[in-house]
Amino acid sequence: MKNLPLILFFFASFNSQAQNSFLFPNDCLGRYSGTMYIEYIGKGIVDSAHVELEFSKTDKDFEWNYFNTIENERYGKIEKRYTLIQDESKKGLFILDENNGIQIEHTNIGRNLYSTFEVQGNLIFYNLECIDNQTLYYKILTSDMNKLKESNIQSDGEEEQILKVNSYLPFTSQYVTLKKY
């Protein structure tokens, strides 16, 4: 029992060192595949698709290739070639260049790449997680920006202040666990 605190300290130190040694995106490079599920609120899973993702280094510093293929019976095969560019001036900031004029900011926090953006009246939340060097997980949530719920409160102070909150209910989720092959 006397050694229990020492053992716990050792495991905690080892775990934090393992977490700190992770380098995004270099520790996530490779070719992955899996099944993406598409789920709607109140309906459950309504469709699925085979996904392949290749994440590789380019010949330029601070740039990576992000090649995504999604295929199912209804929509056929969709291929997307992106370039992930790290902002050299801000650690953790990336730009996903769709190579067609569209560039979307992303933030790297730990093993995750996050983004929130609006397209055609929909608010999109994107998360790519490098679980380990063999597994990626990504999820996309979509909310209709035209269907917002407004809430507010007023303070009881001398000056009336209103705190306003707009919430957007996600109506669909797309998610996939990808395994390296």
- DSSP 8-state class, residue 59: S
Cα distance between residue 156 and residue 78, in whole Å: 55
Q: Distance from CA of residue 83 to its chain's centroid?
A: 15
- Which band of pLDDT confidence, cut at 50, 70 and 90, is reported for residue 11? low
Cα distance between residue 112 and residue 131, in whole Å: 9
Q: How confident is the model over 43-95, as pLDDT tens digits? A: 999 999 999 999 999 999 999 999 999 999 999 999 999 999 999 888 899 99
Number of H helices, E strands in the chain: 1, 10
Q: Is 17 contained in some domain? A: no
Q: Is 19 contained in some domain? A: no
Q: How confident is the model over 126-150, as pLDDT tens digits? A: 999 999 999 999 999 999 999 999 9
Residue partners of 127: CB distance under 8 A and separation at least 6: 112, 113, 114, 138, 139, 140
DSSP string, 84-146: EEE-TTSTTEEEEE-SSS-EEEEEEETTEEEEEEEETTEEEEEEEEEEETTEEEEEEEEEEEE
Assign residue 149 the CATH number of its domain. Answer: 2.40.128.20
Q: Is 6 contained in some domain? A: no
What is residue 15's predicted lDDT score, i.e. its pLDDT? 47
Please report, as a single letter, which amino acid is at residue 142: T
Q: Is 13 contained in some domain? A: no
Q: Is 4 contained in some domain? A: no
Domain count, the chain: 1
Q: Is 12 contained in some domain? A: no
Please report, as a single letter, which amino acid is at residue 147: K
Q: Which domain holds residue 166?
A: 24-180
Q: Is 100 contained in some domain? A: yes
**For the whole prediction, is pTM greater than 0.95?**
no
Q: Is 70 contained in some domain? A: yes
User: ∠ at Cα 180 (176, 181), nearest 5°?
Assistant: 120
